[in-house]
Structure 1
Amino acid sequence: MILTEATTLFEELLETIEQLEQDNREVLIDPVPYLKTANHFMNTLQSLVLKGSFNDQQEEILFFKTMKPKFRSLQIYYLALQDITFKKPKGCKKILKKFYTDEIQKICSFRCYNQNLLNYYYSGATEMDAQLFLRKVEEHPHWLLKPKLERDERFSTPADYLVAKIMAMEKIQLYLSNEIVKLQDGNVTENGSADKKEYRWTGEAINLVELAYGLYYTGEINNGHAGIAEIVRLFETTFNIAIGKPSRRFAEIKQRKRLSKTKYLDQMRTAIDKRIDEDDEFVPISNLR
């Protein structure tokens, strides 16, 4: 029950962040409203857990291994972004590049220090889940060098915070890397280099929405940490198209009745299968001598 309610709550969080991004597309990002939003939903999630109960240990493990880190990672990400904004020095490109590079080095040090947990988590292993993602455990794996328990142990396990921080640091590193790229090429505009060839999406916008949600739900971008709004904005920028609010466009897909709900993805699969079949059927005639 908790896991289901938490999933719905996370979708609401993503929609709220999406709306903030829509409202602030033409200005530099201000982390404060995003951080307030993340804090609000994190508090709601905590109340949900403290007032309810898990069906069994497996649900508890899944919650603290996969669900809570998603909420907490956004909170950590926007807090880190706020800190970077405050600390960013004023000066030439060389000074800014050194600042961004130093911040990336801190992230690399954190990842190295927690490499064992990182490897365990992304390998899909489960044998130590009970020691890492259950509350009030007496022992944790010896390689978990510094377990992070929050103030309320009813809402904390040895590894859920560290997993959330690993997820957040990946997003921060991507942000810092993009800032360095902007510094290295003075001709790069907000939407890309003026010297590069432009690409335009000439099909229906709803087809691109299908593709965006396909990538989002399969977790193919940034280890699954890229939000649907981020993916849609990437498509809009790359293909010079206005898609609109993703959740509203997704509602159009869900309301399809006569057609397949994934019409475009089905067409892509059919086209690929057809080409493969045609290639398999083609048998070149050997030259006669």
Structure 2
Amino acid sequence: MEIVLSKILSQIRYQEDKLSSQMLPTSEEAYQMTLFLNEMLCSIKTQVVQTGFTDEQQEIEFFKNIKPQVLGKLIYYNKVFRIETTCPVSNGEIHQSYYENLLKSLKSEYKESICNEDFYRYYRTGRTDRDHSFFRLGQINYHDGLKSGVFEIDLSFSTYYDNKIAHIIANELLYTYMIAKINPEENPDLILINGDANKDISWTNTQNALIELIYALYASNSIAYGKIGIRKLALIFQVLFRTPLNDIHHSFHRMKTRAGSRTAFLDQLKISLEEYMDKDL
């Protein structure tokens, strides 16, 4: 069995761009994405259950990096649909307080159910030493005192911890979404997303390449003299290029330990620019 992450992300991004170009209400766009992602997840599940994995590493890759991306987006869009269809008004103080209260609840859930857990620190620091027990089927250790949600998952298609990563991804997407709703003046998405000028602006390289560029600009204090945070900087690029970056911190930690050059994209940028300069000589 071979399920390629880049292909799946490309399919998701294509569907998002397709719906976005139709200028649908947010609730309808979220609903259509929920249907699309649910169908994709069901299709992937059928493939996994029927064919299984060729080796342990493929299984770990699937449950650690592939399935959580699909499930995380599915959870996110379903919550956005529920949020938008229960919003009392379209603007004003009630509208503002509605999203502020949702953000408080999200932060509380994040603090109580996510960031204080050992697994969250394991995942955030890019560790791999326990991947064989966290991301393989049939390896659940009930002595760890797991939450009752473990009894509700399909053990033929979940290791329990893939669900936890999916919720981390969904939580961060929701955080960005609600921040933009509460403080649109601090988030340029309303101008960029609703404008026609950026319809053809898209990031056509990999997500890792964009994250590498963002961190390089952040580390060099090249934007706002370094006074802008990495989360906000990432949001600007996500909005500008209409592409989600999900877990940038985890991706960055993986870059720090990857084989070969740790700055592969920046190295290629330098080569490409020098070659372009040589053409004018």
Structure 2 length as normaliser, TM-score?
Answer: 0.66
TM superposition shift of 1:134:
1.4
Indicate the SS of the match to 1:156: coil
Q: Please list every run of 5 or more consecutive structure 2 residues that lacks an aligned counterpart in the other structure.
A: 215-230, 244-265, 276-281
Is 1:213 aligned to residue 204 of structure 2? yes
Indicate the SS of the match to 1:76: helix
- Against the structure 1 CA distance between its residues 99 and 153, is the aligned structure 2 distance closer, same or farther, given a 3 Å change threshold? same
- The 5-angstrom pairing of residues 1-289 of structure 1 reads 1-4=1-4, 7-24=6-23, 27-28=25-26, 30=28, 31-90=30-89, 93-112=92-111, 113-115=113-115, 116=117, 117-139=119-141, 142=144, 145=147, 148=150, 150-182=152-184, 190-191=190-191, 212-214=203-205, 216-218=207-209, 220=211, 231-233=240-242, 265-266=269-270, 270=274
CA–CA separation in structure 2 for the residues paired with 1:28 and 1:126: 38
TM superposition shift of 1:101:
1.6
Whether the 8 Å contact between 1:61 and 1:130 is mirrored in structure 2 is yes
Whether the 8 Å contact between 2:71 and 2:166 is mirrored in structure 1 is yes
Whether the 8 Å contact between 1:135 and 1:154 is mirrored in structure 2 is yes
TM superposition shift of 1:129:
1.6
CA–CA separation in structure 1 for the residues paired with 2:77 and 2:84: 10
TM superposition shift of 1:231:
4.9
Paired amino acid for 2:164: L
- Against the structure 1 CA distance between its residues 229 and 37, is the aligned structure 2 distance closer, same or farther, given a 3 Å change threshold? farther
- Against the structure 1 CA distance between its residues 149 and 163, is the aligned structure 2 distance closer, same or farther, given a 3 Å change threshold? farther
- Report how many residues are paired: 225
The alignment's C-alpha RMSD in Å is: 3.9
TM superposition shift of 1:169:
1.2
TM superposition shift of 1:64:
0.4
CA–CA separation in structure 1 for the residues paired with 2:143 and 2:124: 16
Bigger-Rg structure (1/2): 1
Q: Please list every run of 5 or more consecutive structure 1 residues that lacks an aligned counterpart in the other structure.
A: 193-199, 235-261, 272-289
Structure 1 length as normaliser, TM-score?
Answer: 0.64
